[in-house]
Structure 1
Amino acid sequence: MNILSIGGSDPSSGAGIQSDIIAAQTLGVNCFSVITAITAQNSKKFSYAESVSSKAVEKQLDSILSDFDIKAITVGMVYDSKIIKTLHSRLKNVKIPIILDPVIRSTTRGILLKKNSISELKKFLIPICNTITPNVLEAEILTGVKIRNYEDLFIVSKILSEIGSKNIIVTGHSFKKNTISDFIFSNGQHQSLSGRIFKGQNHGSGCNFAFAIAYCLAQKMDIFDSARFAKQFTIDSIKQAKRLGHGVKITRPKRDKIKSELSSAISQFTDLKKIYSFIPECQTNFVYAKPNPKSTNDIVGIMGRIVKTGKSVTPVGILEYGGSKHVATAVLTIQKKFPEIRSALNIKYDDGIVRRFLQAGAKISSYDRSYEPKSSKEKENSSISWGINHAIKNSPTSPDIIYHMGDLGKEPMIIVFGTTPQNVIKRISSIL
């Protein structure tokens, strides 16, 4: 999956483009970049900023948007009116989520948006962004309303939505001792997410939050679920913050190797030629387990599915432990006999697909659901455990695929197994 980050260059890598690239690596997605300004800053102070020419921004945008399939865009530092108008001109007809983090001042007190450009930001940029993530100070500056309570948050959000943004998230308000919250407003609905305050300042949490929102919206999650994911992602990055210099700590998103490997494999899967023809009616999930999983909560899956969208496929939902039940249960079951098997993916059953696997030398097993006992059919997820156990009962080695021909109200299915997600992709690729 490809996300475009538009913003300033931070040589300390605490925020801006560099921070987004680090976040993307953590989430297992590709980050493309368009630089709007060059800054000189470190963990102690912000000493210089210079905008990139409008022509350079145009050329960067054109080079990325003309070549890559971008699923979401984040916009951070825009610095001046020329950059704002250039972005408006090039992005106003884009049909993907644009997330604006309207940075005005850095943690190290640097000016990231010239004061005389605020009106242009409101006129040209906010209306084309479907989500805006100001902190309390930024929301106050943009609306002229002092935020003292929840009613003020609602007023501020309503003003920003009337300017043109569909989703408003005001971050970092604190009306209760030791608690910091984010206020989400969308289509008249609102919600507040709270967490504990971390002592001391950090550099980069706002960028982490906005990029995580883009990651979720690119996968068609709703804004409230996106905000919950982004908040936890940001909390984890603050917990991992390091004092790399002599000033404030710099956030570092927490890297989960299992999620990263699976995310990379999902991107490869969605790019496979004609893979849309392999997606079943119930859609597809792709999972990867920790070593020796005890339950499906030890197995990462998509909180949703990989869905067919015409002649392409799209992952809908983020990766989470416990995100899959059915395919994860298949892995959990086969693990008991073959612990090296930690990943799996389901595709539609077709005689031709099974033949291709045979021709590719795959080890194949199957089971007949018509023989399943009633007690198993009536218990959730027991059908899968029964079927996998039945299929591997007499197998001396682990099968590469297990299939069944369906039953009353049950779609026929193939599950492709592997030691890793890359191993699963290799098996699928062998029959294309």
Structure 2
Amino acid sequence: MHSPPVALTIAGSDSGGGAGIQADLHTFAAHHVYGTSVITAITAQNTRGVTAAESIGADLVRAQLDAVLGDFAVAAVKTGMLGGAELLALVARYGEADRLPNLVVDPVMVTTTGDPLFAGDPAAYLARLGPLATVLTPNLIETRQLLGREITTVDDMREAARALATYGPRAVLVKGGHLEGESAGEPHEGGAVDAGGVPGGSDSAIDVLWCDGQMLDLAAPRVATRNDHGTGCTLASAIAARLALEHPLPQAVAGAKAYVTEALKAAAEWRLGLGRGPVHHQHGRKSNAL
């Protein structure tokens, strides 16, 4: 048997298992990619929020990076929670040394429940990791923080993607999951990619992808569920997994969005925890031994 490709997640730990390192490793496994990890922070977290968080020291993060990158042929890397400027700069130095291939940057700065997860200047994400990123994947909250502007329509998302692309990433995915009741707006030059079986509309979750100078809308059905904890982590790690599997970039992003949509559907009736529960990362995995 051929060895599986290797992906690396550089992120924080979620004690509730729905986001962060745990979600990333679940997602890698679901894609049959071997997952490695560098833990940047430990959080006390569940489906209702974060009650405590502490960053890992830079020396230990560096040691983890050296241990993984010095032994495994890592094919793709995903970053999540970096905590602050020191770890951001440390990770950037590894990227500048060409040690972080197919880098997917999820600029984690705040949870969907409002808990802060990054103590540094949001602009540092663009200055340090923007030129190194294969894909930058901010949600609407993070996009507002990165650019200092309101994002209220899909057209705003397209303009934001163009603005973020000027900082150097090959692709920018502005995620519209928090944009309620908004249709795709006016036609544009890039067209649309169906990532979930429906055209764009008010019942669709629309993400905007700028890639290699082309703008695309990625539309999928909006899933009615309270179980959406960790969707951003899951999407970014699914993109990294597909890049490790050598999928072309636009198809990797569209396929990752379709995977997350199915994960949301599969977990819609779950009751894990008292708040916003996790998605079903292993929804497509089958084994005769189980």
TM-score range normalised by the length of the shorter chain = 0.7 to 0.9
Report the AA paired with residue 79 of structure 1: G
* CA distance, structure 2, for counterparts of residue 183 and residue 42 of structure 1: 30
Match for 1:229 among 245, 255, 260?
255
Gaps of 5+ in 1: 262-432
1:112 correspondence with 2:117? yes
Equivalent residues in 2 for 1:294-305, closer than 5 Å: none
Shift of 1:120: 1.9
1:171 correspondence with 2:196? no
Shift of 1:70: 0.3
1:62 correspondence with 2:66? yes
Could you say which residue in structure 2 is the equivalent of 1:138?
Answer: 142
Shift of 1:107: 2.8
C-alpha RMSD of the superposition: 1.8
Shift of 1:257: 4.0
Could you say which residue in structure 1 is the equivalent of 2:195?
Answer: none
* CA distance, structure 2, for counterparts of residue 200 and residue 137 of structure 1: 20
Runs of 4+ deviating beyond 3 Å: 254-258
Match for 2:206 among 181, 191, 198?
181
Encode CA deviations 1:398-425: one digit per residue, 9 max, x unaligned. Answer: xxxxxxxxxxxxxxxxxxxxxxxxxxxx
Contact 1:27 1:255 in 2 (8 A): no
Match for 2:220 among 175, 190, 195?
195
Could you say which residue in structure 2 is the equivalent of 1:248?
Answer: 276
Match for 1:239 among 265, 272, 282?
265
Could you say which residue in structure 2 is the equivalent of 1:29?
Answer: 33
SS of aligned partner of 1:84: helix
Report the AA paired with residue 225 of structure 1: Q
Q: Which has the higher contact order (CA 8 A, sep 6+)?
A: 2
Pick the structure with greater CA Rg: 1
Greater fraction helix:
1
Could you say which residue in structure 2 is the equivalent of 1:211?
Answer: 237
SS of aligned partner of 1:163: coil
- Give the count of matched residue pairs: 259
* CA distance, structure 1, for counterparts of residue 284 and residue 222 of structure 2: 24
SS of aligned partner of 2:173: strand
Match for 2:79 among 55, 75, 78?
75
Gaps of 5+ in 2: 184-201
1:101 correspondence with 2:106? yes
Taking structure 1 as the reference length, what is the TM-score of the superposition?
0.57
Contact 1:145 1:152 in 2 (8 A): no
* CA distance, structure 1, for counterparts of residue 9 and residue 274 of structure 2: 28
Encode CA deviations 1:99-145: one digit per residue, 9 max, x unaligned. Answer: 0111111133321112x331222211222111111111211211123
Taking structure 2 as the reference length, what is the TM-score of the superposition?
0.84
Report the AA paired with residue 275 of structure 2: G
* CA distance, structure 2, for counterparts of residue 257 and residue 149 of structure 1: 36
